Amino acid sequence: MGRSPCCEKAHMNKGAWTKEEDQLLVDYIRKHGEGCWRSLPRAAGLQRCGKSCRLRWMNYLRPDLKRGNFAEEEDELIIKLHSLFGNKWSLIAGRLPGRTDNEIKNYWNTHIKRKLLSRGIDPNTHRSINGSTTPPPKTTKSSLQNDEPVRFEISGPDQQRIVKPEPMVLDREDANNKCTSSGTTSEKDIQTDDDWVLNLELSVGPATTKSYRYELTRKANPDLAESTRRWSFELLGAQAEVCLCCRIGFHNESCRNCRTSDVTTTWESKIL
């Protein structure tokens, strides 16, 4: 039995796309839009697998793609996002307008890995290879080990998940680093035992328009034994219309494209 192949491979072209094939695909999508990839090749007169058409369009022919070298800012952003998401290239690509997951993946493997290694940083763990260049995480009373990831899922009041991707995984060191640089709460608050604050920027709905900036606060719950490894979370959010530039961190004070509403909501979240 098994699964039927996505297409009749015997009659399909493989390998590099010709200009004629590109033109057929572009013309068809301009006229009809992106639809069912499985039936598209036949309709467009292409001897290609639907998946192949999708890939070619997504990675190469889409008009909104930015071609050319990566800027230094993009490098650093990729490194930061990789430290948060790992090899979730599509998530990373979602925050780099005009870049594709494939492009970022290739760039990571050919450039950034080496760049990090030359800095003495392990590209997989984002930690110092010899353990001397990055500061050690703060000592806390937490029962979490320093290298143990904190997994949490953020849900809205109606229990609808507002984080569509995998539950975010942050290591403790990363979270602590964010605490100290957030500036949204007092040093005193940050330093106390298990409390920390984490600034999140989440996207909901069409990735290009709306985003939500949240401040996630973890507070030690004195009612729970440490061994249960549970904390209460408060998620204070502000809904915002944020332009792409600002979303990827190149915020300009004079930006008129961003509008922030003063809606602040308390959300619940839980440790998984």
| Binding interface with DNA (CB under 7 A) | 3-4, 6, 9, 13-17, 35-38, 49-52, 54-56, 59-60, 87-91, 101-103, 105-107, 109-111
- 55 dihedral zone (left: phi>0; alpha: psi -120 to 50; beta): alpha
Q: What minimum distance in Å lies between the beta carbon of 114 and DNA?
A: 7
Q: Which is nearer to DNA, 87 or 134 (CB)?
A: 87
Q: What minimum distance in Å lies between the beta carbon of 180 and DNA?
A: 29
- Token readout for 39 is 């039936």
CA separation for the pair 71, 63 (Å, rounded): 20
Q: CB under 8 Å, gap of 24 or more: what pairs does 163-168 form?
A: 163/202, 164/204, 165/85, 165/88, 165/91, 166/88, 167/272, 168/84, 168/85, 168/200
Q: Which is nearer to DNA, 143 or 208 (CB)?
A: 208
CA separation for the pair 144, 176 (Å, rounded): 13
- Token readout for 149 is 């990831």
Q: Which is nearer to DNA, 162 or 240 (CB)?
A: 162
Q: Which is nearer to DNA, 6 or 263 (CB)?
A: 6
CA separation for the pair 133, 119 (Å, rounded): 9
Tell me if 212 sits within 8 A of 236, measured CB to CB.
no
Q: What minimum distance in Å lies between the beta carbon of 258 and DNA?
A: 25
Strands of the sheet with 196-203, listed across from one edge: 168-171, 149-155, 259-271, 232-241, 210-219, 196-203
Q: What minimum distance in Å lies between the beta carbon of 120 and DNA?
A: 18
Q: What minimum distance in Å lies between the beta carbon of 240 and DNA?
A: 23
How remote is the C-alpha of 213 from its chain's centroid? 14
Q: What minimum distance in Å lies between the beta carbon of 123 and DNA?
A: 12
Q: Which is nearer to DNA, 68 or 131 (CB)?
A: 68
Q: Which is nearer to DNA, 73 or 166 (CB)?
A: 166
